[in-house]
């Protein structure tokens, strides 16, 4: 993840001006349910790990959970201490923008309306159609 990607793509996928990422952390970079095991919890598929915005990993997991509202709400509640901060919100928006880019390339069509709705809730702005 790089600031340059955010600079080029935030307006394109979220319809909002670029946000400067100020808080970075080491993260998985591809956190979704296929990369998590049941008890004992193990995170798989670490080839994309590196520096990510704070909130990116949990924002990505939350976004992948939007098709199951109770799970998404549980994640949001458990990680409110991250997602409800300015840095966490920025990381979550980066995760949403990246997933909207994937949708634009034909991936995760079932997620598209959920991602758009959630991004609009976070930004208060209309999100461009990711499939156009």
Residue 33: is its pLDDT beyond 90?
no
* Residue 76 within any structural domain of the chain: yes
Residue 37 forms beta bridges with which residues? none
User: What's the confidence (pLDDT) of residue 87?
Assistant: 96
Condensed to tens digits (0 to 9), the pLDDT of residues 71-86 reads 999 999 999 999 999 9
**Number of separate domains in the chain:** 1
The torsion defined by the Cα of 91, 97, 64 and 106, in degrees rounded to 10, comes to -160
* Residue 112 within any structural domain of the chain: yes
* Residue 14 within any structural domain of the chain: no
* Residue 96 within any structural domain of the chain: yes
State the SS3 of 74-108. HHHHHCHHHHCCHHHHHHHHHHHHHHHHHHHCCCC
* Residue 47 within any structural domain of the chain: no
């Amino acid at each position: 993840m790089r600031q340059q990607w955010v600079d080029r793509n935030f307006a394109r996928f979220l319809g909002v001006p670029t946000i400067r990422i100020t808080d970075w952390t080491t993260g998985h970079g591809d956190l979704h349910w296929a990369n998590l095991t049941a008890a004992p919890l193990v995170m798989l598929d670490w080839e994309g790990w590196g520096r990510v915005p704070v909130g990116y990993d949990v924002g990505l997991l939350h976004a992948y959970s939007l098709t199951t509202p109770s799970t998404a709400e549980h994640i949001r509640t458990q990680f409110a201490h991250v997602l409800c901060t300015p840095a966490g919100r920025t990381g979550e928006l980066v995760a949403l923008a990246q997933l909207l880019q994937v949708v634009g390339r034909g991936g995760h069509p079932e997620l598209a309306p959920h991602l758009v709705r959630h991004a609009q809730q976070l930004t208060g702005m209309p999100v461009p159609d990711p499939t156009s």
